């Protein structure tokens, strides 16, 4: 009997952590998930406790290994590598000497830094786009750099630690790797190119911290981690963890991991539907500058000497979170899965349009003064219409981003099938909703392809880790033709004229969200 070979994947998301163990055929043979707390200290502020996240990883690894072992798998003898994928931009500063966080982690969707952003836009010669040439990103509350500036300006313990040389900065990947490779006893302070690309501090071409940007913002390079590729042996897991001595050899931000899990080569795009929605188009080995509200970023770099693939990205702040809002804040549904049945009770929204600009709008609008609206309500409107409008809002936002991608990269950016169709690959928890996927195909006018395994983020991190230690080859990872035989394709059935009318109405609804941030309480 052949020796069993396994690769583990830590998938650290915005609301939960998972650990999944894959076998050599990329089949999940053990997993565990833990939800953790989101804190909302003020309107627009979102935080996590880094220690709670760390503990969630420990619990998930323990339980997943126990489950797989109970099913007869020799995990201790067969586990070859660990991959890590994480929520991006979420920012942590901790003490090098104590290992304790100096403040809660500031989450990617937090907007407390809007005044810092306005100040920078006024002071810097390039305004909002001052750093785009170097890092591909506009000045925004979204990225880690502005969160770091807020912490250095407003938290005394952070100021003191930076002054004494005791502060370490990182995104969640950095925090986890530092702790898992030794912490205060020699933990490795590293990040990968995909997470570093989201800080607003990394030069997209050199893949190193941009000195001019650091000087302009007053960020000391001493607090920043070393940048590595997405697939290489970073360091071994230290004693005190449920598994020890195993190399962490894959690390990617969640959206980049999904690109690898979906096997997206040049010209191929994927959309991940989670708390937010994130659409990335692989543009090949040259970054493309966006003139239509998108971000230029790294797609992946699968090895220290491997070529860098770049991407255009459109980030949508609120997708699945709008469904959670219907459940938790309005009580219209009691579980997220109920929305499909409720929305299916009507065949249209009855003219209702919902724009979930709860904390402003990301791509392609970039309006932090926007706030959510629900318009077109009549006496005829019921909760099914609102539920359907929430689903449509997710799909319209994805369409806005894909339309912008087409303008930026041109028709030749799209890899089309033999029928001349552009296929949007989709993944993430919300894609189990068949109605959502059909609406997406209808509003795009293009087929939507859902893989048999919708958890491609965790799979991508496993692939990157396994690639570094020889479990898989790059050809095996990107053999997408074989994988797509098991996929489900949703084809558009909506009339073209109605599609255009609905898109015009959506744009009208979006315009109504602007300049609402200062409405009186």
> Given CA atoms 114, 120, 126, 130 in this order, what sign does their dihedral have?
negative
Confidence of residue 406 (pLDDT cuts 50, 70, 90): confident
Contact between 457 and 258 (Cβ < 8 Å): yes
Per-residue burial over 157-173, b if 16 or more Cβ lie within 10 Å, else e, is: bbeebbeeebbbbbbbb
Q: What is the pTM of this model?
A: 0.87
Q: Is the peptide bond before 364 cis (omega within 30 degrees of 0)?
A: yes
CA 414 – CA 315 distance, rounded (Å): 19
Give dist(CA 358, CA 71) in Å, integer.
44
Selection from 347, 413, 417 nearest residue 385 by Cα: 347
pLDDT tens, 320-349? 889 999 999 999 999 989 999 999 999 999
Question: Which secondary structure element, helix H or strand E, spans residue 443, and what is its range?
Answer: helix 434-444
Under 8 Å between Cβ of 394 and 319: yes
Asked whether the predicted pLDDT for residue 521 surpasses 70, the reply is no
255 to 132, 206, 289, 310: CA distances (angstroms): 20, 21, 19, 13
pLDDT tens sequence across 365-384? 888 889 999 999 999 999 99
Please report which residue ranges of 136-241 form alpha helices under DSSP H: 144-154, 156-164, 172-180, 193-196, 211-217
Rounded CA-CA distance 370/251 in Å is: 34
Residue 417, pLDDT score: 60
- Angle in degrees, 0-180, between the axes of helices 496-511 and 434-444, rounded to the nearest 10: 100
The 10s digit of each residue's pLDDT in 191-242 is 999 999 999 999 999 999 999 999 999 999 999 999 999 999 999 999 999 9
What are the tens digits of pLDDT across the range 126-140?
Answer: 998 999 999 999 899
pLDDT for the residue 485: 63
- Predicted confidence at residue 1, as pLDDT, reads 41
């Amino acid at each position: 009997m052949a020796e069993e070979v396994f690769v583990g994947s830590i998938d650290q998301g915005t609301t939960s952590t998972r650990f999944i163990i894959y076998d050599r055929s990329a089949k999940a043979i053990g997993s565990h998930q833990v939800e953790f707390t989101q804190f909302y200290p003020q309107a627009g502020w979102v935080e996590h406790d880094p220690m709670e996240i760390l503990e969630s990883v420990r619990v998930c690894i323990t339980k997943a290994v126990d489950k797989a072992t109970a099913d007869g798998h020799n995990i201790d003898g067969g586990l070859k590598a660990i991959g890590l994928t994480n929520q991006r931009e979420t920012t942590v500063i901790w003490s090098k000497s104590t290992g304790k966080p100096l403040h809660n982690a500031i989450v990617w969707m937090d907007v407390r830094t809007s005044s810092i952003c306005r100040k920078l836009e006024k002071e810097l010669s390039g305004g909002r786009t001052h750093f785009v040439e170097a890092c591909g990103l506009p000045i925004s509350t979204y990225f880690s750099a502005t969160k770091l500036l807020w912490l250095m300006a407003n938290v005394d313990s952070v100021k003191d630690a930076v002054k004494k040389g005791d502060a370490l900065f990182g995104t969640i990947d950095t925090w986890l790797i530092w702790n898992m490779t030794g912490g205060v006893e020699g933990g490795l302070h590293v990040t990968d190119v995909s997470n570093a690309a989201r800080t607003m501090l990394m030069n997209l071409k050199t893949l190193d911290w941009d000195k001019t940007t650091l000087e302009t913002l007053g960020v000391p390079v001493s607090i920043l981690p070393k940048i590595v590729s997405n697939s290489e042996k970073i360091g071994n897991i230290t004693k005190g963890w449920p598994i020890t001595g195993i190399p962490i050899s894959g690390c990617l931000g969640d959206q980049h991991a999904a690109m690898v899990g979906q096997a997206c080569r040049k010209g191929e795009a994927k959309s991940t539907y989670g708390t937010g929605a994130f659409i990335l188009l692989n543009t090949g080995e040259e970054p493309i500058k966006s003139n239509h509200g998108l971000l230029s970023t790294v797609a992946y770099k699968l090895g220290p000497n491997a070529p860098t693939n770049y991407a255009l990205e459109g980030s949508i702040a609120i997708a699945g979170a709008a469904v959670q809002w219907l459940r938790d804040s309005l009580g219209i549904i009691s579980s997220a899965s109920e929305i499909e049945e409720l929305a299916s009770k009507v065949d249209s929204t009855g003219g209702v349009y919902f724009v979930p600009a709860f904390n402003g709008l990301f791509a392609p609008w970039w309006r932090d003064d926007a706030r959510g609206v629900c318009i077109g309500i009549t006496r005829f409107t019921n909760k099914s219409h609102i539920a359907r409008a929430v689903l449509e809002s997710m799909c319209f936002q994805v369409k806005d981003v894909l339309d912008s991608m087409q303008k930026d990269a041109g028709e030749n950016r799209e890899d089309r099938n033999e029928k001349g169709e552009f296929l949007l690959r989709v993944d993430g928890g919300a894609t189990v909703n068949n109605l959502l996927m059909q609406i997406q195909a209808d509003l795009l006018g293009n087929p939507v392809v859902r893989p048999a395994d919708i958890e491609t983020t965790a799979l991508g991190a496993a692939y990157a880790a396994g690639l570094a230690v020889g479990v898989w080859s790059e050809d095996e990872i990107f053999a997408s033709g074989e994988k797509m035989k098991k996929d489900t394709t949703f084809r558009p059935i909506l009339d073209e004229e109605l599609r255009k009318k609905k898109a015009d109405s959506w744009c009208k609804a979006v315009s109504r969200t602007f300049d609402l941030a200062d409405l009186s309480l």
